[in-house]
């Protein structure tokens, strides 16, 4: 998923996994607990949900930086939810047995933390819905 998010060409910096870079502006994605099956089928297939968050850390010394942070997370949402003929066009490849169906923003960009050095973290929470193929596989 991290590689997929890093394919977004409008990101200001590389998105890391569960750790910020040491630079003043950095981004990370974090896997959240709470993945679950939304729907199960008799053949063992299911529709699953996987929540994750994307954070951006900025120098919070002026309003422009804050607006840029929320704008970046909103821009990521626009990219993730691009559709053509009601079909999502920017979905990640999940492997042969899983297929991404959609990604939704479940929490609008908001401040997550503020630090003594003036830096601030903003976050948006997303949910990846996917189909997992079940059944018996022929060897």
In this structure, CATH architecture of domain 2-132: 2-Layer Sandwich (3.30)
**Residue 74: its H or E element:** helix 63-80
pLDDT value for 98: 92
pTM of the model: 0.87
The rounded distance, in Å, linking the Cα atoms of 34 and 135 is: 24
Q: What is the pLDDT of residues 29-62, one digit of tens each?
A: 999 988 889 999 999 999 999 999 999 999 988 8
The rounded distance, in Å, linking the Cα atoms of 68 and 92 is: 25
The rounded distance, in Å, linking the Cα atoms of 57 and 69 is: 8
Number of neighbouring beta carbons within 10 Å of residue 93: 10
């Amino acid at each position: 998923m991290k590689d997929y998010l890093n394919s977004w060409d409008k990101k200001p910096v590389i998105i890391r996994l569960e750790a910020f870079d040491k630079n003043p502006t950095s981004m990370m994605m974090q896997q959240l607990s709470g993945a679950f099956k939304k729907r199960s089928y008799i053949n063992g297939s299911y529709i699953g949900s996987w929540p994750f968050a994307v954070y951006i850390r900025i120098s919070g010394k002026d309003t422009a930086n804050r607006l840029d942070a929320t704008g970046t997370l909103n821009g990521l949402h626009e990219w993730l939810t691009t559709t053509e003929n009601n079909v999502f066009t920017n979905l990640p490849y999940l492997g042969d047995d899983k297929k991404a169906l959609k990604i939704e923003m479940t929490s609008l960009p908001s401040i997550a933390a503020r630090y003594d050095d003036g830096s601030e973290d903003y976050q948006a929470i997303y949910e990846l819905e996917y189909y997992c193929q079940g059944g018996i596989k022929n060897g």
